[in-house]
C-alpha cells in the first residue's frame, strides 16, 4: 500500500505523475503567487524525497534536471514518492533575477531557523516569502525523508555538492543531541557519495550561522527538520551545460538507488570533471581584488594548486603589471571556478578555491543562537 500525500492541489496516486500548485501568497494587485508541484509515486511504498529548484531566477539548470529526470519509466520502477518543486521563486524566474521584485533579499535565506522569536514586531515583519516558506517547511517536515536542492555556481565552474556542517543543541541531553547529529552527518555523507560529484564542505559552524546558511533550503531541512539534505551547484546557470545536466540526472538516480527507491546498478558519472584530492576541503571565497584592476586568470576549474603558486595576473587598465603582477594561492587545494569577467573593483571576489578543511563537521550551535 502506498502512502497518501497531498501538497496544494497535487495528490499522489500510485504509479502516476500528478500535477498541481501550492499557493504561497497574494500580491497587492490580486494575483496569487503559486509554486508548481509535481508528485510522482511508485506502485510500491518507500521513502519520500523532495527535489527543489528555481529559488534564484538566473539558475535554470536545476529545473532542467528535474524535467529530464521525471519520466514514465522512472515512475514504473519507483518505490516511494518524489515531490518536485521546480520553481521556488516564480517571480525571480520570470525576470531572471536572483532576488524577486517584491522583496529584494536572497530568498534562499528565508526558511525557518528554529530560533525562539518573542518579539511580535519581528514576527509581523516577516516577508511574504518568509511566511510562505514557514508553511511549506511544515509540509516538508511532515513527509520528506530526504531533500535535494539544485542551484548553479558560475560559468565554467565544477559541478559540485556542498557538505553542510551538522549542528546540535547544547540544551537538554547534549550527548544524545550530538550522537543524533553525528548520525545525520553520516547519512548526508552517504547521499553525497551516492551522488558522485565533487564534494565541498561548507563554512565552519560559527560562520555558517553568520551567513544564514542554516536558513537555506537544505540548511533548514538538515538542521531544523533533521532531514538528510544536499545543496547541489551545477555550473553555468542561464544556459545549462548538457554534460552537467546528464551527470546530475544520473547522480540523482543514484541517490534514489541509495535510498532504496530504485533498483539497479549505480550509474557512472561521465562527461564532467570530478575532483577528489584525497582530503576534505571547504570553500574559500576570500581571494579578492585589493584595488581596481584587470585580472587575467592563469588557472581554471578543476586545476590543483599549491600555496604560493600564481593563479592570476593582475594589471592596470593599460595592461601594465600592478605590484608583483600576480595573485598567489594562499593554500594548497583546487579551483572550483573563476569570477566572471576581467574588470574588478576593490574587495570583489576573483577566484573560488577549495582548500583543506580541518574544522569539525558536527559542532554545537553557537552560544548566542539561543538569545
205 and 293 housed in the same domain: no
Query: In total, how many domains does the chain have?
Result: 2
130 and 235 housed in the same domain: yes
Contacts with 42 (C-beta within 8 Å, 6 or more apart), sequence order: 2, 14, 15, 75, 76, 77, 78, 79, 80, 81, 261
Q: Which three cell numbers stand for residue 228?
A: 538528510
**Residue percentage of the chain with pLDDT more than 70:** 96
Q: CB-based burial of residue 144 (10 Å sphere; 0-12 exposed, 13-18 middle, 19+ buried)?
A: buried
Whose CA is closest to 327, among 317, 312, 315? Answer: 312
77 and 184 housed in the same domain: yes
pLDDT band at 123 (very low <50, low <70, confident <90, very high): low
Residue at 81 is within a domain: yes
- At residue 45, φ and ψ (nearest 5 deg) are -70, 155
Q: If you average pLDDT over residues 165-193, what whole number do you get?
A: 95
135 and 42 housed in the same domain: yes
pLDDT tens digits for 30-76? 999 999 999 999 999 999 999 999 999 999 999 999 999 999 999 99
68 and 109 housed in the same domain: yes
Q: How far apart are CA 352 and CA 293, in angstroms?
A: 18
Residue at 369 is within a domain: no
Q: If you average pLDDT over residues 192-211, what whole number do you get?
A: 94
Q: How far apart are CA 34 and CA 63, in angstroms?
A: 16
Say if residue 165's pLDDT is above 60: yes
Say if residue 295's pLDDT is above 80: yes
What pLDDT, on a 0 to 100 scale, did the predictor assign at position 337?
95
We report the CATH number of the domain holding residue 331 as 2.40.50.100
Q: Which three cell numbers stand for residue 21?
A: 500548485
pLDDT band at 371 (very low <50, low <70, confident <90, very high): low
pLDDT band at 238 (very low <50, low <70, confident <90, very high): confident
Q: How far apart are CA 167 and CA 224, in angstroms?
A: 10
Residue at 365 is within a domain: no
Q: CB-based burial of residue 221 (10 Å sphere; 0-12 exposed, 13-18 middle, 19+ buried)?
A: buried
Whose CA is closest to 230, among 201, 209, 205, 265? Answer: 201
pLDDT band at 369 (very low <50, low <70, confident <90, very high): confident
Q: How far apart are CA 244 and CA 189, in angstroms?
A: 21
199 and 300 housed in the same domain: no
Residue at 17 is within a domain: yes
What pLDDT, on a 0 to 100 scale, did the predictor assign at position 368?
78
Say if residue 243's pLDDT is above 80: yes
What pLDDT, on a 0 to 100 scale, did the predictor assign at position 366?
86
241 and 334 housed in the same domain: no
Say if residue 136's pLDDT is above 60: yes
Lowest mean pLDDT among 222-226, 277-281, 285-289, 302-306: 285-289
Long-range contacts of range 314-322, CB-CB < 8 Å, 24 or more positions apart? 314/289, 319/294, 322/291, 322/293
Q: Are strands 321-328 and 293-297 parallel, antiparallel or unpaired?
A: unpaired
3-state secondary structure the chain: CCCCCEECCEECCCCEEEEEEEEEEECCCCCEEEEEEEEEECCEEEEEEEEECCCCCCCCHHHHHHHHHCCHHHHHHCEEEEEEECCCCHHHHHHCCCCCCCCCCCHHHCCCCCCCCCCHHHHHCCCHHHHHHHHHHHHHHHHCCEEEEEECCCCCCCEEEEECCEEECCCCCHHHHHHHHHHHHHHHHHHHHHHCCEEEECCCHHHHHHCCHHHCHHHHHHHCCCCCEEEEEECCCCCCCHHHHHHHHHHHHHHHHHCCCCCCCCCCCCCCCCCCCCCCEEEEEEEECCCCEEEEECCCCCCEECCCCEEEEEECCCCCEEEEEEEECCCCEEEEEECCCCEECCCCEEEEEEEECCCCCEEECCHHHHC
* Cβ–Cβ < 8 Å for 147, 205: no
236 and 302 housed in the same domain: no
We report the CATH number of the domain holding residue 202 as 3.40.630.10
Q: Pick 106 or 205 by higher pLDDT.
A: 106
Lowest mean pLDDT among 22-31, 182-191, 246-255, 361-370: 361-370
pTM for the predicted model, two decimal places: 0.95
- At residue 181, φ and ψ (nearest 5 deg) are -65, -40
Q: If you average pLDDT over residues 121-138, what whole number do you get?
A: 83
Q: Which three cell numbers stand for residue 49?
A: 524525497
Range of the domain at 305: 281-354
Opening angle at CA 230, ends 87 and 340, nearest 5 = 70
Residue at 163 is within a domain: yes
Residue at 264 is within a domain: no
Say if residue 120's pLDDT is above 80: no
Q: Which three cell numbers stand for residue 369?
A: 543562537
216 and 163 housed in the same domain: yes
* Cβ–Cβ < 8 Å for 58, 96: yes
Residue at 350 is within a domain: yes
Mean pLDDT in the chain? 94
Residue at 288 is within a domain: yes
Question: Sign of dihedral through CA atoms 13, 17, 19, 23?
Answer: positive
124 and 161 housed in the same domain: yes
27 and 111 housed in the same domain: yes
10 and 129 housed in the same domain: yes
Amino acid at each position: 500500500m502506498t502512502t497518501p500525500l497531498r501538497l496544494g492541489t497535487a495528490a499522489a496516486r500510485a504509479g502516476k505523475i500528478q500535477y498541481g500548485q501550492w499557493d504561497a501568497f497574494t500580491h497587492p494587485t490580486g494575483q496569487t503567487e503559486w509554486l508548481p508541484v509535481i508528485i510522482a509515486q511508485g506502485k510500491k511504498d518507500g521513502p519520500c524525497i523532495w527535489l527543489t529548484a528555481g529559488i534564484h531566477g538566473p539558475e535554470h539548470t536545476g529545473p532542467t534536471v528535474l524535467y529530464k529526470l521525471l519520466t514514465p519509466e522512472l515512475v514504473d520502477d519507483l518505490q516511494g514518492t518524489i515531490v518536485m518543486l521546480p520553481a521556488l521563486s516564480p517571480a525571480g524566474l520570470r525576470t531572471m533575477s536572483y532576488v524577486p521584485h517584491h522583496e529584494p533579499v536572497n530568498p534562499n535565506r528565508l526558511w525557518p531557523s528554529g530560533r525562539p522569536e518573542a518579539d511580535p514586531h519581528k514576527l509581523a515583519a516577516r516577508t511574504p516569502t518568509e511566511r510562505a516558506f514557514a508553511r511549506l517547511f511544515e509540509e516538508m517536515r511532515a513527509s520528506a525523508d530526504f531533500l535535494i536542492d539544485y542551484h548553479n555556481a558560475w560559468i565554467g565552474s565544477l559541478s559540485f555538492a556542498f557538505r553542510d556542517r551538522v549542528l546540535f543543541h547544547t540544551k537538554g541531553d547534549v550527548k544524545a543531541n550530538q550522537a543524533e547529529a553525528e548520525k545525520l552527518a553520516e547519512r548526508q555523507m552517504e547521499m553525497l557519495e551516492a551522488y558522485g560529484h565533487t564534494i565541498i564542505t561548507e563554512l565552519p559552524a560559527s560562520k555558517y550561522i553568520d551567513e544564514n546558511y542554516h536558513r537555506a533550503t537544505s540548511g533548514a531541512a538538515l538542521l531544523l527538520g533533521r532531514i538528510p539534505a544536499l545543496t547541489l551547484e551545477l555550473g553555468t546557470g542561464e544556459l545549462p551545460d548538457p554534460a552537467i545536466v546528464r551527470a546530475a540526472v544520473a547522480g540523482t538516480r543514484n541517490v534514489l538507488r541509495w535510498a532504496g527507491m530504485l533498483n539497479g546498478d549505480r550509474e557512472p558519472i561521465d562527461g564532467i570533471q570530478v575532483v577528489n584530492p584525497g582530503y576534505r576541503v571547504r570553500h574559500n571565497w576570500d581571494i579578492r581584488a585589493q584595488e581596481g584592476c584587470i585580472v587575467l586568470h592563469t588557472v581554471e576549474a578543476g586545476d590543483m594548486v599549491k600555496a604560493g603558486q600564481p593563479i592570476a595576473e593582475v594589471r592596470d587598465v593599460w595592461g601594465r603589471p600592478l605590484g608583483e603582477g600576480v595573485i598567489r594561492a594562499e593554500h594548497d587545494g583546487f579551483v572550483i571556478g573563476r569570477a566572471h569577467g576581467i574588470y574588478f573593483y576593490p574587495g570583489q571576489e576573483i577566484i573560488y578555491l577549495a582548500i583543506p578543511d580541518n574544522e569539525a563537521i558536527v559542532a554545537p550551535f553557537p552560544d548566542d543562537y539561543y538569545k
